[in-house]
Amino acid sequence: MGSGLEPDQEAMLYSNESTPNMSTTDSNLCNNLQCYMVLSEPEKKAIGPICFLAGPVTFLENILVLVVIASSATLRRRPSYLFISSLALADTFASCFFTISFLDFHLYSKGDIANIYLFKLGGVTMAFTGSVGSLLLTALDRYLCFYQASNYKVLLTRTRAKLAIVLLWCVTIIISFLPLMGWRCKTRLDPPCSRLFPFVDHHYLAFWTGLQLVVLFLITVAYALILWKANRHEAAMGVPKLGRQSIKGQTRMRMDIHLARTFSLILLILAVCWLPVLSIMMVDVMVTLEKIQQRIFAFCSTLCLVNSCVNPLLYALRCRELRGELLALFRCCRENTLGKTHSRRNENNSGKKNKDQTVSDSNPDTISESVENQQNSIQML
């Protein structure tokens, strides 16, 4: 697919990449990628460590969540953890695509042709769109758990959860790569092109930004309804009850209050990380941005990566079952390591044994014996 530019126009675009100033006398027009590389050297030194630190940390956190869920048959069967897996996958993509693209463009001033740049941008858009979409699925899952507790397992089966995730990612991929498929600027980099992203049409930017605002609004509504119900439980705390009903009601109320605090924190982090970026995008659709606004956007965009770094802590590692599976996984790895070490010691101490006997005393038998001993001790208890 072509870049949508005439040959002489595209040649003019890349012939001016080394020029620090705009190649036109009209400040509203932009004919080279230097108009988008707005960070100064001190700003690059300030924003670089954020990406270098948050990128790998985000990747490791989300990979750990995916490994724990994939290794547990119990967690894989539950729709809630399928949605958390989708969120972790999207945030893993974000840690890779955003970090590489941001560093290449803003810190190393690497200019690509239109198709390559739009492919990279599509990867970033796919990651963040999938992340916000997975947050919506998680919010709807918790809404159903609160308001349809008796019918929850009937309404949200594992098959329906998988279909929802597949549909989410199909829609996400299509929307994210629309600029690469042709919805882009037809003129150089002038209006109606965005001043935040090269080759991106204002209409597409308005469409994507509006879609994210709608999704964030639905997430807010879902959690607000949950908070409202939790507050009702808290208000009913003083109503006297008798026997088991009182104990059960107080336990449920404490759980609701704990979840309410978690959801309040989730909404606060969503607002801090996403509203600045989406607000500047909407302003870019309506007016021509100045360089100071472009610089602010570059810094604010790193908050989206921070959100992907925080998501595993909020949605995954706060879950008691997932923490239990994580500890069990670490314990299993430790036992395997100790078993191998014990096997090597036995081999070193058995110098009089022949090669066949050494093979028979290797690690698998040692692990089997340790498992049998553990089972016997459990039976004795």
Among all chains, which residue has been given the structure tokens 């001790």?
A: 377
DSSP 24: S
Q: Is residue 260 predicted with pLDDT exceeding 70? A: no
Question: How confident is the model over 155-203, as pLDDT tens digits?
Answer: 888 899 999 999 999 999 999 999 999 888 866 555 678 888 888 888 8
Distance of CA 215 to the CA centre of its chain: 15
| C-alpha dist (Å) from residue 316 to 8, 265, 343 | 52, 14, 36
Decide: 121 and 200 in contact? Cβ < 8 Å: yes
Q: Which of 93, 72, 79, 88 is nearest to 162 (CA)?
A: 79
Cα atoms in the Cβ-side hemisphere of radius 13 Å centred on 53: 9
Is 205's pLDDT higher than 80?
Answer: yes
CB-based contacts of 296, cutoff 8 Å, min separation 6: 280
Which helix (DSSP H) or strand (DSSP E) does residue 48 occupy? helix 41-71
**Would you state the pLDDT for residue 377?**
37
List beta partners, residue 193.
201
Please tell me the predicted confidence (pLDDT) of residue 75.
Answer: 83
Task: Give the C-alpha separation, 373 to 381, whole Å.
Answer: 12
* Gap between the Cα atoms of 270 and 264, Å rounded: 10
pLDDT at 54: 87
What rounded mean pLDDT belongs to the chain? 75
Pair 297, 196: CB distance under 8 Å: yes
- pLDDT category at 213 given cuts 50, 70, 90 is very high
Q: How far is CA 295 from the centre of its chain?
A: 24
Q: How confident is the model at residue 349 (pLDDT cuts 50, 70, 90)?
A: low
pLDDT number for residue 182:
86
Is 178 strand, coil or helix? coil
pLDDT band at 6 (very low <50, low <70, confident <90, very high): very low
Q: What's the pLDDT score for residue 352? A: 44
Residue 340 burial (10 A CB sphere; 0-12, 13-18, 19+): middle
The CATH code of the domain at 37-237+256-334 is: 1.20.1070.10
Beta bridge partners of 201: 193
For 10-34, write each residue's pLDDT tens digit. Answer: 444 443 443 334 333 344 445 567 7
Longest Cα–Cα distance of the chain, Å, equals: 89
